[in-house]
Structure 1
Amino acid sequence: MIEQRLEQLGIVLPRASAPAAKYANAVIVNGMMYVSGKGPNTAERGKLGDPFTTDQGYAFARNAGIEVLAVVQEVLGSLDRVERVVKIQGFVNATASYDEHHKVLNGCSDLMLDVFGERGVHARSVFGAASVRDDLPLIIDSIFQVKE
């Protein structure tokens, strides 16, 4: 069971954060769950490259992944209904010269592998952004295959 795996990893899922505007946290269509973009649940604001380092970005991405899992848990009732993590897409709020976006997004990718094992292997894209909402350091968009 995934909840037992979370406990082994020392992860306590927070209550899912509310959407930042007029949209749903997630939508399920034909066995695919599309989770709206989630940022880290931290007070820090700003860009990777200045003031934040790649290691800090990795932690932000892991934290944002935990936010994603909180939404999935709330909508599905159990993370055991996740058949596969299909895609993770990251938008990294970064300075123009920053070039380690892929290392930042590893924070979320590693989390999905730790939690779901082989079911956590996913496709991935990462982009540098000139800005993101609320000056968050990053936002993660995700897709899951789920048991209906």
Structure 2
Amino acid sequence: MGDERLLTEPVLRPRPAPSQLTKDARWLVVIVVLCIVFQQPGSTWGTSFSHAGQEYDFESHPALGWTLVTVGFAVVGFLVAIARRGARRFDEHTVMGLALAGVVGTTVLVWLLMPAQIAWVQWAVEHGSTHPFVIGNVTERVRYADYAG
């Protein structure tokens, strides 16, 4: 008696829909991973130049610093978005958008630095600077000409 009503109630209650901030955070994680993967070929390059009987080889490898900056933008953006939740100006959606802009902007910067660094080392070697200033992920190797005939 009275047990009939207990049997008609649903066993599982529906979950509340995730908030827009949660959806934005999930997309931010996906975009950060894609940007980090996309940065790797942008920071990997190699070139060789000859000047005054010497051959200069420059090789760039992916830098951990760019990855940390990218993740840093995302983490700081997410934390600020949580703090600004429900604010009138610069609410969580605006802050998440700015964090996304920082992540994508870092990736674009990595890709823009590739041709700029190549042009810089070429110009420097052609103008006699045997050890031009480069970002830390670039290695340099100098080979001297063989004068044995």
- TM-score by length of structure 1 reads 0.29
Bigger proportion of residues as strand: 1
Q: RCO greater where, 1 or 2, for CA within 8 Å and sep 6 or more?
A: 1
Bigger proportion of residues as helix: 2
Pair member with larger Rg: 2
